[in-house]
Structure 1
């Protein structure tokens, strides 16, 4: 980057700058301090006994988080198009980390006369060339050019990487070409991209996880296949869907609807193939012949997504013959000395067999709604026919599992005896092991955390609402209970009053008959006499006139 603004010969803008022109280099604005440090180091070496060197490396690439890692990762994740910032015509000097290390070691050991060295390989690749090569080797092969400013919106691309990816430097290696070490990628990144891709995959444990799921019809294969595809983040492959997508693609291309970078030269061939397939299906009761179906499936398994992440194949192949056709290696992959017996690209790594009884399958179908079975392959008659056909072609001698067993791909058989899928999933994932991919990104982890927090907040809100509802119901219950208590107490008081009144009737009659006349006479007498102590006088009166 200390060469980034160095002017080239105006008469020959395509000319390359030589290593010995380093004194007139002009740095990128963000690297002015860097070039000053280099100059100080060079001066210090001239004024002291310490030997100093400046090794200016090209853009360093390797299997780790190098400047091109975001491209490799995007391609491996099957991004529809890799992004090229700007026109991509800028030339990027590059070097592999191992080659740079060898240069440093040789400088330390032999202390060359040259104090300033350019550590770059022989490549003169542009940004677009590199992006397109990575897309071809690991992705879809498509590249989209966007404005340079868009790169600033990419959080995964730091400012320093942005500066380096957009630099345009035509540099010629000098003294490093005379060194004795053995170059790893002397011709550059693009020329050695297959080796770099494999190095990148090995360093990160990125290998395709390829699984075949076998089992009788209607036993739940699709359910488990989709569960495993989600768990391992691999591609779910089902025969009918593959054929449907392949025919739709042929129809789209035959209609002239091409995706970016699709080859126009094969349109006529696609039209002919589509007509052949439709004519063959017409003569075969509407079914596509096995030859075409199997070719579509092989093409799917050899596609870049399945080669990157892997696949889980749902319920196919069903016979040894079908397995032999699907996993037969291409002629280009065969070696003269030892022909391959299985395609290393598409051949499965694991074969899972679900052991399910006919009785369990029938019971499972009976528990499904009528709309899911009537007039489908799972109707009673159709299911019995499919089960009979499966058992006939999967005896101990004829089962397709023998094909894999002979190839040392030993099937893992697990019995399914209930609708509880967790024990089955636990056993299968324990047998297969951990996923072979990047794992969740920071964005995915944040999204997962956000969803978990939202779920927790929702649960807390529901719990608070239920608590509020319970409290309201309890309050209403208490108010109702108090009201009922008051009504009951009022009824009791009313009843007690009636009892007292009923009990007081005889006493009232007695008083009116025997007591009140005498008492009345005594009070009249007191009023007449007006004694000093009326109470005592009344008492004496009542005592004298007391009836026996």
Structure 2
């Protein structure tokens, strides 16, 4: 019951035929108490409605418990195959005192090597029009012809699944047994909930790791089914005695290997091309599964319009739902944080550390300037328009892009796949109540909500930036003189759930210390003292005003119920600030999120220091060797020069003596 399929079965079988069921089950390993202590929510067995865990070590008691049940379900994905064989043989000779249904959940891998017939791969239009391809002999793409449960006797498994086919045959041989109704469910490759086969694909996509590979050529068809739909089929089997003994449980999709991998990446990660590799270059325990090439038709119960499908049209058609399930079951929570403070407060160092610790590779540590730069760098017409507008503003640093454009650019990044699933640390934005309101509130609309592209709004005809800025400021500062009817007609706003942060940090620091950090190179900030004074004044006006102007922190408290964590960086170290943020974040519960343990982090830091020390020692050794070689070369050069000088002197002396001899 603690297995992948077992949990789905318990959830769906708690109530069948309008009555509560008493569920007994065995564990993959360990005791019920161990499972309770290991499970994140602490009450797995209770939540699944398991009344009692049966002990497999006491064979007689185990068999007695099983035979007391009116429904027996075994899942070959997690069961001990020897135990299953023993049970089937016991059932064959046992005297059953009541009607019993036995269901064996197997896999379509028992069909993997079935001899295939191939038919042309047509587009939907061609299939509708019935185009005759026999006229021209041209090479066309082909796909396997559909197999149905009527082809049962033709099925041929791979070597690894021979035992599965044998057990299927044993179960089907029980059909003549009195008071026993046996069924085999050939389940497609299972997906959903916490994933098994596709776990590494989802995990790598969540972590944005570019490690996905497609086994060449990648156009093979993989019949799949959601694990919950298998459980629902078991419910149908229990209530309908007229069903066939062998049922194929696959959804209505026809997904290729490449389509599955690209679909997962497109939903949860950066869009990118996945390399197509030979099978020998792919290292995965599920290589055989990913190489499967079958098209299977679902059995009759799954074609019935009344069947309660969870994912009828397949994984990719329901990828948002499936990805959300994966995150829920794996306890993966997006960590969304905003960090604000005055210019020069050093927020970038704290943000970088939080992002690196909690958000893994390519940490989404975002700044407003970075978002603008990335938008301008895009190779699009809209980006060129935005660049022109930004260049026009560059002459006057006090000018900004209009609020609406700023909002949509930042919002677009916060709604990216990485930020939606892993989260973000947004540094230094929003800096005002108005910016926060525009970014984290959305209008409640009754009709269709049409959103324009943010970057497209960066250029609206030949309208000047200064005019837009002036209109914006005028609109924001204009007195509100609407009458009561107009007040009632004002649009309503709600929290933008997709982007709003869960955590906020408010950094405090004196102007003097901020300036010192910038000009000492310890923090990023304005390039000139004039710009620093201007930005500091703007920050103080927006967040520290004495006239009652609401601050950014007040927006989060009033509108989002988020109390920002204040940190006075003038009176604490960088390490103390980071630890304060950690305590604040984990006060709501620790994260899983594939975080490394403190021991792993310490070991990595020690390995890093050891590596740096080794590189430093090697550099010193190289420098010393180079110095020795230079000194040796210099000595050799000097010796050569000295020898040359002696030869010259000797030649001169000889010439002089020869000249004197001739003269005498």
TM-score (structure 1 length as normaliser): 0.69
Does residue 209 in structure 1 map to residue 335 in structure 2? Answer: yes
Counterpart in 1 of 2:422?
A: 309
Does residue 78 in structure 1 map to residue 208 in structure 2? Answer: yes
CA RMSD of aligned residues (A): 3.7
Instruction: Give the match's secondary structure for 1:101.
Output: helix
Counterpart in 2 of 1:16?
A: 146
Counterpart in 2 of 1:7?
A: 115
Q: How does 1:190-269 map to 2 (within 5 A)?
A: 190-233=316-359, 234-249=363-378, 253=379, 267-269=380-382
Instruction: Give the match's secondary structure for 1:198.
Output: helix
In the alignment, is the contact (CA less than 8 A) between 1:60 and 1:97 conserved in 2? yes
Q: How does 1:48-447 map to 2 (within 5 A)?
A: 50-80=180-210, 82-150=212-280, 152-153=282-283, 157-158=284-285, 161-177=286-302, 181-233=307-359, 234-249=363-378, 253=379, 267-278=380-391, 280-281=392-393, 284=396, 289-290=401-402, 292-329=405-442, 339-356=492-509, 358=510, 361-363=511-513, 365-366=515-516, 372=521, 377=526, 382-394=531-543, 395=545, 397-398=548-549, 399-416=551-568, 417-433=570-586, 436=591, 438-440=593-595
Q: Closer, same or farther in 2 for the Cα pair 1:14/1:377, shift >3 Å?
A: closer
Range with greater deviation from structure 2 (108-117 or 193-202): 108-117
Instruction: Tell me by how many angstroms 1:317 deviates.
Output: 1.3
CA displacement, residues 94-136 of structure 1 (integer Å, 9 cap, x when unaligned): 1111111122233244444411111111112212222222122
In the alignment, is the contact (CA less than 8 A) between 1:215 and 1:355 conserved in 2? yes
Number of residues of Structure 1 aligned to a counterpart in Structure 2: 434
Indicate the structure whose relative CO is greater, using CA pairs within 8 Å and at least 6 residues apart. 1
In the alignment, is the contact (CA less than 8 A) between 1:352 and 1:412 conserved in 2? yes
Counterpart in 2 of 1:256?
A: none
CA displacement, residues 509-543 of structure 1 (integer Å, 9 cap, x when unaligned): xxxxxxxxxxxxxxxxxxxxxxxxxxxxxxxxxxx
Q: Distance in 2 between matches of 1:57 and 1:393?
A: 60
Q: Closer, same or farther in 2 for the Cα pair 1:83/1:288, shift >3 Å?
A: farther
Q: Closer, same or farther in 2 for the Cα pair 1:426/1:14, shift >3 Å?
A: closer
Q: Distance in 1 between matches of 2:272 and 2:174?
A: 50
In the alignment, is the contact (CA less than 8 A) between 2:222 and 2:256 conserved in 1? yes
In the alignment, is the contact (CA less than 8 A) between 1:350 and 1:409 conserved in 2? no
Q: Closer, same or farther in 2 for the Cα pair 1:210/1:3, shift >3 Å?
A: same
Q: Closer, same or farther in 2 for the Cα pair 1:287/1:46, shift >3 Å?
A: same
Q: Closer, same or farther in 2 for the Cα pair 1:347/1:334, shift >3 Å?
A: farther
Q: Distance in 1 between matches of 2:349 and 2:325?
A: 35
Instruction: Tell me by how many angstroms 1:213 deviates.
Output: 1.3
Q: Distance in 1 between matches of 2:562 and 2:169?
A: 64
Q: Closer, same or farther in 2 for the Cα pair 1:334/1:203, shift >3 Å?
A: farther
Q: Distance in 1 between matches of 2:201 and 2:492?
A: 36
TM-score (structure 2 length as normaliser): 0.58
Instruction: Tell me by how many angstroms 1:61 deviates.
Output: 0.7
Q: Closer, same or farther in 2 for the Cα pair 1:339/1:436, shift >3 Å?
A: farther
Q: Distance in 2 between matches of 1:332 and 1:94?
A: 38
Q: Closer, same or farther in 2 for the Cα pair 1:445/1:119, shift >3 Å?
A: farther
Instruction: Tell me by how many angstroms 1:60 deviates.
Output: 0.6
Q: Closer, same or farther in 2 for the Cα pair 1:26/1:339, shift >3 Å?
A: farther
CA displacement, residues 162-191 of structure 1 (integer Å, 9 cap, x when unaligned): 111111111111233266652211222122
Q: Distance in 2 between matches of 1:375 and 1:25?
A: 67
Counterpart in 1 of 2:478?
A: none
Q: Distance in 2 between matches of 1:132 and 1:375?
A: 39
Instruction: Tell me by how many angstroms 1:28 deviates.
Output: 2.1
Larger radius of gyration: 1
CA displacement, residues 192-229 of structure 1 (integer Å, 9 cap, x when unaligned): 22111111111122222211112222223222222222
Q: Closer, same or farther in 2 for the Cα pair 1:415/1:125, shift >3 Å?
A: closer
In the alignment, is the contact (CA less than 8 A) between 1:208 and 1:436 conserved in 2? no
Q: Distance in 2 between matches of 1:375 and 1:186?
A: 53
Range with greater deviation from structure 2 (14-23 or 36-45): 36-45
Instruction: Give the match's secondary structure for 2:494.
Output: coil
Does residue 28 in structure 1 map to residue 180 in structure 2? Answer: no
Instruction: Give the match's secondary structure for 1:210.
Output: strand
CA displacement, residues 351-400 of structure 1 (integer Å, 9 cap, x when unaligned): 221233x3xx414644x596539997376665444433322222262222
Counterpart in 2 of 1:46?
A: 176
In the alignment, is the contact (CA less than 8 A) between 2:190 and 2:227 conserved in 1? yes
In the alignment, is the contact (CA less than 8 A) between 1:55 and 1:116 conserved in 2? yes
Give 5+ residue unaligned stretches, structure 2.
1-108, 121-142, 450-488, 614-664
Range with greater deviation from structure 2 (161-170 or 220-229): 220-229
In the alignment, is the contact (CA less than 8 A) between 1:84 and 1:143 conserved in 2? no
Higher helix share: 1
Q: Distance in 1 between matches of 2:492 and 2:326?
A: 29
Q: Distance in 1 between matches of 2:253 and 2:228?
A: 16
Instruction: Give the match's secondary structure for 1:312.
Output: strand
Give 5+ residue unaligned stretches, structure 1.
254-266, 460-548
Instruction: Tell me by how many angstroms 1:148 deviates.
Output: 3.6
In the alignment, is the contact (CA less than 8 A) between 1:349 and 1:409 conserved in 2? no
